[in-house]
Amino acid sequence: MPMIHARRYDTLRSVAIEIEAGRIKQISATEERGELPFVAPGLVDLQINGFGGIEFNDPQLTIEKVRQVAHSQDAFGVTAFLATCTTDAYDVLSHALATIAEAIRELPEVAARIPGIHLEGPFICPDDGPRGAHPKQHVRPPDWNEFQRFQEAAGGRIKLTTVSPEYDGASEFIHHAVASGVLVAIGHTKATSDQIKAAVDAGARMSTHLGNGAHPTIRRHPNYIWDQLSEDRLTASLIVDGHHLPPAVVKSMVRAKTAERIVLVSDITSMGGMPPGRYKTGLGELEVLASGKLVPAGQPDILAGASLPIHACVANAMRFAGVDLATAIDMASRRPAQLIGLDQRGLEVGAPADLFLFDLPLAAGEPLRIRATYHVGQASSLP
């Protein structure tokens, strides 16, 4: 029977965790030892677009490529994530959704890591700024019939969809999606206060990467950031990679929303895990800077997505917002798990043994240092 000796992330006490049949059988207190790593419930990332040169929005996406991305996240303490497909042509999205669904059906190792899909778009704002890096030619108003076709291609595995409620009929679309069991997030939007309220009344429960996918300059107040920040029925996802949001903004948002209504996401793209340099991609030539910042080649002040995994966001949340370790971990593990219906009991007897072992960063700016990641009690091989 596997046994883990570590320090709990929440109480900081030394424990021995006994695992049987993929679940936590027993947790026993042990003598304090300073060299022990921390143990925490596995990280759950609701927004992973790809990794290591592989993008889910790929007309040539294969089951093997999905498998590679699924395994890649073990190195960062991630035990579950939503494969994220973004705004694109119908055929490209249908192929991506169907391929991810097939990988989940055919490969138990993928099913254990990818519990569902996040469809981010194509039902978003077409304007520069709110649209972000999504291609304008493929942006379109919410269409329930089209979404149902996407869901059919995905084998019913779309768990989260990001939409802009600025369109006529958006509230009806949100109502249908929520009734079908899909979590709806507001994002990439220029919606008015009334439109945001209507979306929440219709069942929207989340804000996608709040503070990003926005106009460079917006009205002081009211505006769609304040409206979502103040709405207690919305949980906000934040990209805390040190590039998407300044530290003061992260701190203010966590204070305003409270940690109970914040989840951390990486929004990592195919450039994640790639060494600094220039790369030709479907979005044109991109550049990974030495800092990990992803930009259009030669334009260091403009973001082109994210390239840092979520374990970096956890460490940054502690630095930027001043939250403790348990709070930062929960924002990237138990809280997102709860949003998509996964078991989120954490370190409790009977809970799935989806865990990770780690050490705190050695220096400012570094991520958590991952020692091991466990899927249903089995340690993964880390690179």
> pLDDT at position 109, please?
96
- 287: which 2 tokens? 């550049």
Q: Side chain identity at 174, as an amino acid letter?
A: I
Tokens 């990990």 correspond to: 292
Q: Give the E-state strand segments of 313-377 in sequence order.
A: 355-359, 369-375
pLDDT at 1: 63
Residue 264: what pLDDT? 98
Give residue-wise pLDDT tens across range 187-233.
999 999 999 999 999 999 999 999 999 999 999 999 999 999 999 99
User: H or E segment at 199?
Assistant: helix 193-202
Amino acid identity at 337: A
Least confident of 158-162, 215-219, 279-283, 372-376: 279-283
Strand 369-375 to strand 355-359: parallel, antiparallel, or no bridges (unpaired)?
A: antiparallel
Instruction: Round to whole Å and give the CA distance between 259 and 64.
Output: 37
| Of 354, 331, 358, residue with least CA distance to 342 | 354
Tell me if residue 305 falls in helix, strand or coil: coil
- Coil, strand, or helix at residue 107? coil
Backbone angles phi, psi at 5, to 5 degrees: -110, 120
Q: Two tokens at 37? A: 């790593």
pLDDT on residue 383? 63
Most confidently predicted of 15-29, 31-45, 302-316:
15-29
Residues 6 or more apart whose CB falls under 8 angstroms from that of 134 comprise 86, 87, 121, 122, 124, 188
Rounded to whole angstroms, the Cα distance separating 91 from 77 reads 33
The arithmetic mean of pLDDT across residues 284-313, rounded, is 86
pLDDT > 70: percent of the chain: 99
Q: What percent of the chain has pLDDT over 90?
A: 87
Domain 42-344 listed as CATH 3.40.50.2000: no
- Examine the pLDDT at 382 and tell me if it is beyond 80: no
Picking from 68, 42, 71, the residue whose alpha carbon sits closest to that of residue 56 is 68
The pTM of the full predicted model, rounded to 2 decimals, is 0.97
Contact (Cβ atoms closer than 8 angstroms) between residue 268 and residue 293? no
Rounded distance between C-alpha atoms, residue 307 and residue 292, angstroms: 6
Q: Taking residues 264-268, what's their average pLDDT? A: 97
- Asked if 234 contacts 244 with a C-beta cutoff of 8 angstroms, the reply is no
Q: Is the pLDDT of residue 86 over 90?
A: yes
Structure-token pair, residue 248: 């003061």
Neighbours of 148 (CB within 10 A): 13
Angle in degrees, 0-180, between the axes of helices 310-321 and 325-332, rounded to the nearest 10: 140
Residue 40 CA to its chain's centroid (Å): 18
Return the SS3 of 40.
Answer: strand
Output the pLDDT for position 219.
94
Residues 6 or more apart whose Cβ sits within 8 Å of residue 170: 123, 141, 142, 163, 164, 195, 198, 199
What confidence category does residue 319 fall into, taking pLDDT thresholds of 50, 70 and 90?
A: very high
What's the first-to-final CA gap in the chain, in angstroms?
Answer: 25
The alpha carbon of 156 is separated from its chain's Cα centroid by a whole number of angstroms, namely: 20
pLDDT at 5: 95
Residues 6+ apart with CB under 8 A from 273: 51, 52, 53, 72, 307
The arithmetic mean of pLDDT across residues 239-257, rounded, is 97
Q: How large is the average pLDDT for residues 292-317?
A: 88
Residue with tokens 């590039």: 243
Which pLDDT does position 299 carry in this prediction? Answer: 81
State whether the Cα torsion 292-297-298-302 is positive or negative: negative
- Looking at the chain, how many residues does it have? 383
Q: Which residues pair with 285 in a beta bridge?
A: 280
Can you tell me whether residue 270 is helix, strand or coil?
Answer: coil
pLDDT at 283: 67
User: Please, what is the average pLDDT of the chain?
Assistant: 95
Give the helix ranges, DSSP H, for 73-162. 90-106, 108-111, 144-153
pLDDT in tens, 87-131: 999 999 999 999 999 999 999 999 999 999 999 999 999 999 999
Residue 124: predicted pLDDT: 98
Distance CA 194, CA 206 (A): 17
215 SS3 class = coil
Instruction: Tell the residue number behind the tokens 């990770």, with chain if given.
Output: 356
Q: Which residue has the tokens 């305003």?
A: 256
- pLDDT for the residue 281: 79
Q: Domain residue spans in the chain?
A: 42-344
